[in-house]
Amino acid sequence: CPLLSCSSKIPSIAAGVVGGLLCLVVVGLGIGLYLRRRHIVRKRTLRRLLQERELVEPLTPSGEAPNQAHLRILKETEFKKVKVLGSGAFGTVYKGLWIPEGEKVKIPVAIKELREATSPKANKEILDEAYVMASVDNPHVCRLLGICLTSTVQLITQLMPYGCLLDYIREHKDNIGSQYLLNWCVQIAK
């Protein structure tokens, strides 16, 4: 008799196990679809932010009024500096993150900050450089994402993940063939 009661429970146990596995598969697919959708939405938002060029209320601390048709004015609260990448004639370059207001994406950027004791002439030069960079749309040139006009002028550009090409060439000059150099020259000339 106990064998008979066990054999009558086997189909219901098997149905329960199969039903439980089906529920797990459905929940897993649902989570997978949700994560994929969220990734696609973030990717589209990032692409839109990198491609849109909108004019925000311009600030002109240098007293100059540049042609800002292609410049996005960013608030200092929209980005944060992570580490120093280097410094040059105009100032210091930082690795940073741009977090556009109202968005949930963090875009890796390079932040070029002018030295504080910069003359109005140098400010004009950097604004001219910003205008030129903003008007250039080439896959082989870093895009200017925006400019922040606070006590120091800051240019925000895309961060190149592999660093400075000149540093790479200097470091690997013995291992770089003529074909690579020619390809780079063609890309730069485009």
The answer on whether 112 is annotated among ligand-binding residues is yes
CB neighbourhood size of 91 (10 A): 20
**Model pTM greater than 0.85?**
no
- Averaged pLDDT for residues 163-167: 79
At residue 50 the predicted structure's pLDDT band, cuts being 50, 70 and 90, is low
CB contact at 8 A, 97 and 46: no
pLDDT > 60? residue 187: yes
Residues 6 or more apart whose Cβ sits within 8 Å of residue 114:
90, 91, 122, 123, 126, 152, 153, 154
At residue 51 the predicted structure's pLDDT band, cuts being 50, 70 and 90, is low
